[in-house]
Amino acid sequence: MNAMWPRRAAVREMTIQQALEWAFAVEHARIDFDETGAHEFDRPGVDTIWILQRHRELGCRVDGGGTSEPHPDAQIIAAAVEALPIGVGGRRMALLVAECARARRVPDWREDEKLGVLPCGWDMTDDGEWLAGTRKLDAVTFRDAKSRTKTYRPVICPISYTGTAAVLANRRREYLAWYGALLHLLSTLSWCSAFTAIRLVDGLPELSPWNAY
């Protein structure tokens, strides 16, 4: 009798970060901010004659193609990301969460950032070598030790600083905001009873990974 009934797929336990990566990187779920539904039934298409022309150029016909719909659990996760409230970042944070999940990474908090000086631009010599870009300032007139009037145009190299406290603080604030969004999603989706293939378990990324450096 047991053979007559299909076996139910095993439920996988995942942390919220693993679930996001599964939904966006494996199942290729997408977020859509089309609130009015104006593009709900839009489907990209091409003319049949164009397809036949491409087949003739290739000399063969390519089999396959198309995509399947993401798993329903992945669509639920994507919908929760899409609905992130303004208090945890709104749409901007939703895009960041989805982007990080697809790339299986966390927001760049500048782990390898060091204080340094870089030119604001680069110039190429006739020999193909790269040199720090320079810029001429307005002409300056002055008198030398013999009271002779001279004019010249100073040449400077504009620079910028990397690894400053302001840059690191901004990146770390972004990481903490992303962490807060994951905490919100875990709290929201933990109550979801519609999942069929996954089950969320406690577990979050490290809160302050920079403390170990």
pLDDT digits (tens, 9 = 90+) for 159-206: 877 777 788 888 899 999 999 999 999 999 998 888 999 999 999 999
Whether 58 is covered by a domain: the verdict is no
Question: Is residue 82 located within the same domain as residue 172?
Answer: yes
Burial 148-170 (b: 16+ CB within 10 A, else e): eeeeeeeeeeeeeeeeeeeeeee
Question: Is residue 76 located within the same domain as residue 155?
Answer: no
Question: Is residue 174 located within the same domain as residue 207?
Answer: yes
Contacts 24+ apart (CB under 8 A), 83-90: 84/181, 84/184, 84/185, 85/184, 88/177, 88/180, 88/181, 88/184, 89/177, 89/178, 89/180, 89/181
Tokens, residue 36:
């009015």
**Does the CA dihedral 171-173-174-179 come out positive or negative?**
positive
**Structural domain span for residue 182:** 7-35+69-110+164-212
pLDDT for position 6: 43
| Total domains in the fold of the chain | 2
Question: Is residue 202 located within the same domain as residue 177?
Answer: yes
Q: Regarding predicted confidence, which is higher, 44 or 145?
A: 145
pLDDT at 59 over 70: no
Question: Is residue 141 located within the same domain as residue 106?
Answer: no
CA distance 57 to 62: 12
pLDDT for position 62: 53
Question: Is residue 22 located within the same domain as residue 75?
Answer: yes
Phi and psi based region of residue 11 (left: phi greater than 0; alpha: psi -120 to 50; beta: remaining): beta
CA distance 97 to 75: 15
CA distance 31 to 33: 7
pLDDT for position 42: 44
In this structure, are residues 191 and 142 in contact, taking their beta carbons and an 8 Å threshold? no
pLDDT for position 116: 77
pLDDT for position 158: 85
Q: Which residue has the tokens 């340094």?
A: 116
Question: Is residue 101 located within the same domain as residue 131?
Answer: no
Question: Is residue 173 located within the same domain as residue 135?
Answer: no
pLDDT for position 79: 92
Question: Is residue 124 located within the same domain as residue 187?
Answer: no
